[in-house]
Amino acid sequence: MATIVGGVGTSHIPAIANAIRNELHTDPYWEPFFDGYGPVHEWLAEAAPDVAVVFYNDHGLNFFLDAMPTFAIGAADAYASDDEGWGIGTVDPFNGHPDLSWHVIESVVAAGFDPTTCQEMRVDHGFWVPTWLLCPERPAGLRVIPVHVNTVQHPLAPPARCEALGVAVGDAIRAWPGDERVVVIGSGGLSHQLEGRRAGFLNPGFDRVCLDALASGDTTPITRWTIPELVELAGSQGVEVINWLAMRGALGDHVTEHHRNYHVPISNTAAAVQVLAATPVPV
């Protein structure tokens, strides 16, 4: 049976990519941010995942406003990045795991979800910045399953629905007969708004409520909110926290918060990283 080793929630700000490329890890602006990732790397080295399931939102690279799936799951052999216009370049393609992808797709469809299935899929910074940040060396055997959650074109799936998708993905992985070790990543957030009159809006109080709820066994402080309430509280891009909620759903009831780091701001965003180790069910 495949094992879910735990989950990591992390911001995916594009500027992180250039900070990595320019080796700004000890620059005064970036140090408090990158320092938060040392314990994550140590935990990942011990947890030794060989598959990463990444809940993220595409920002207009693979999907655009003309045709925006609420949920989409990759089932490709490989996933390439491409020029997004941010000046952040591209990274080497990621290896997929089509057999496990199709198993996850079949399971979540049987559980009542209707994802778009993508046998070709380009992945944007929402996918690759977290994956690069967490696995800078990218172990040769690492395979990925991208799960896109729409946070761009309203209406968005409500928070509880995103968490339920995560539960269905987690159930599917645990039912897979292979011996893969799977880490689940939730990408984006936390509070930020990039456009309009509230550009630059941040809400550390909201962010703390989310991090505490994700670490606890009770996510209702987040799932009770509607999407318009989330936009109000988190900013229009802060809704990306629904990716973290999907990640949390996949982990099952019992998690231990292994690590968190919160640093405001990086670019226009409240940057956060949180490691939730999956703990065995007590007997």
Contact residues: ligand DHB, CB under 6 A: 12-15, 59, 188, 192, 194, 237, 267-269
Q: Nearest approach, Cβ of 271 to ligand DHB (angstroms)?
A: 8
> Closest CB to ligand DHB belongs to which residue?
267
Residue 167 or 214: the one with the smaller Cβ distance to ligand DHB is 214
Spatial contact of 56 and 149, defined as CB atoms under 8 Å apart = yes
Of 12, 59, 97, 125, which is the active-site residue?
125
Find the DSSP H helices in the chain.
15-21, 31-34, 38-47, 98-110, 125-134, 159-174, 204-215, 220-223, 227-234, 241-250
Residue 44 or 129: the one with the smaller Cβ distance to ligand DHB is 129
Q: Nearest approach, Cβ of 202 to ligand DHB (angstroms)?
A: 10
Q: Nearest approach, Cβ of 129 to ligand DHB (angstroms)?
A: 9
Active site residue 125: yes
**DSSP class of 253:** S
Active site residue 192: yes
Phi-psi region of 127 (alpha: psi -120 to 50; beta: other; left: phi over 0): alpha
Of 12, 192, 258, 263, which is the active-site residue?
192
Residue 17 or 105: the one with the smaller Cβ distance to ligand DHB is 17
Beta bridge partners of residue 95, listed in sequence order: 78, 143
Q: What is the distance between the alpha carbons of residues 152 and 64, in angstroms, rounded to a whole number?
A: 9
**Catalytic annotation, residues:** 125, 192
